[in-house]
Structure formats: structure tokens, C-alpha cells
Amino acid sequence: MSHIKDIGDDFLSLFLPRLCLACRAHLVRGEEVLCMECLLSMARTDFHLKRDNMLEQAFWGRCRIERAAAFSIYNRGSRIRRLIHSLKYDGRKDIGVMLGQMYGYTLAGSGFMDDIDIIVPVPLSSGRQRERGYNQSALIAEGLSASTRVPFRNDILIRTGRSESQTRRGRYERWENVEGLFAVRDPSAIRGKHILIADDVITTGSTMEACVDAVSQTGDIKVSVVALATAQKLTL
């Protein structure tokens, strides 16, 4: 049946051309979201290959993590920033799954995923999830899970309240703002395990720190963190 679907896709693409989200070139079969050229030219951090990388250092003295990695750098005008914007605000759910899956192959190939037991996305507030209809971090976790074969669970880490926008706050206020915002629903599901918490972007690290704190309350647990992008200079 797959060739019939292919014919259908090709027929449909006569009317709705599939374009690369970054350069608007026509996508060929096998390409999703981005053309191969744009995909290959995206700036990569390679943090998964570097112990004590910049992102890991950002959490030193704040919370205990085993490893941290991010696919790309989140700069003004950077390709990953445009992609994440479309993922969050244009309903492009396919971007989250595709980039998560692609990054998962990279991570698995390097051994980064080796002793990870469960992938857990950073939860959205219920209000925002209702507005958007989906949690972009859960889509990324789904993609990571597909390529690494590590299961993901989006019912373990939950948001307990609604936080205000963090953009105009200082670090201390931000931390105060997210502290106690997350909780673990089923501690027995993660006790004794190595959890990988996944988000779309890590900028201040305060949301991720609060998630790590919440999960660590369980005890007898290891935590690592991953994101599609991180700020060049983490504003700590």
C-alpha cells in the first residue's frame, strides 16, 4: 500500500508543495521539514561528546545532574530559533518529532543514552496546553524515544500551578517563581532509574532546575537533561 500513499503524496504536493521551512526550497521524498542542505548546515553544539560542557557547568551548584546536552544554539536569527518558533506558535508539531528523532540518533550513537531508563518532557501549564493543543517538549520526547527506543512518559512529571511570564524577572525571582511548580505523580515509576528530562530550549535553566529538583525528591535517582537548543551565553 505504501506506493499508493507515495503516489497520493506526490499528487497532493502538486497543489500543496512541501517547502523547506528554512530556505523555502521544495522538499524531495525522504525530506521532512528541512531540506538536507539546511539540516546539515545547522550549528551543532556537540555537547553530548564533551564532559563538563557549558550546559553542564550551568547547573553546577544549582542541582545535581549526570549529563546535559543540547542540539543547537539559540541565537537571534538562528535556524533552530525559527524552527522552535514554528513548533510552538504555528502548530508545526512535525518539527518537534522530526528534530527529536534526528537528535536521538546522534545521542544514541555517542553513548549519551546508554543508561537512561525513561525520557520525561517538561510539562506545560494546563492553560497553555489548552491554548496550544499540545506540549512541544512532549513531541520532542516522542521523537527522541522513537530513535533511541528509550520509553517516554508524560504523566510522571506534572505542573502544580501556573507561573507568570518570566521574561522581565531577575534570576532570583525567576527561581522563586518556578520553585515548587513541578511535582512527581508516581515516584515508584522512577525510583532507582536514570531520568532524561527533555525541553525545547534552555535559556536561564531555572525551569529545568525546578524539574530536576522535583524529580530528585524521589531519591535514589539519576537525572540528565536535554534540549533542542540552548542560549550561547546562559543568563544565570
Q: Which residues bind Zn ion (CB under 5 A)?
A: 20, 22-23, 25, 35, 38
Choice between 41 and 57, CB closer to Zn ion: 41
The DSSP secondary structure of 133-166, one letter per residue, reads SS-HHHHHHHHHHHHH---B-SSSEEE-S-PPP-
Q: Which of 181-201 are b and which e, b meaning 16 or more Cβ less than 10 Å from the residue's Cβ?
A: bbbbeeeebbeebbbbbbbbb
Choice between 33 and 227, CB closer to Zn ion: 33
Choice between 18 and 128, CB closer to Zn ion: 18
Min dist. Cβ of residue 33 to Zn ion (A): 9
Min dist. Cβ of residue 220 to Zn ion (A): 46
Min dist. Cβ of residue 17 to Zn ion (A): 13
- The label of the residue with cell 503524496 reads 9
Nearest 5°: the CA angle 61, 62, 63 is 105
Min dist. Cβ of residue 99 to Zn ion (A): 14
Choice between 35 and 156, CB closer to Zn ion: 35
Whole-Å CA distances, 114 to 111, 148, 150: 5, 9, 9
Residue 26 is which amino acid? H
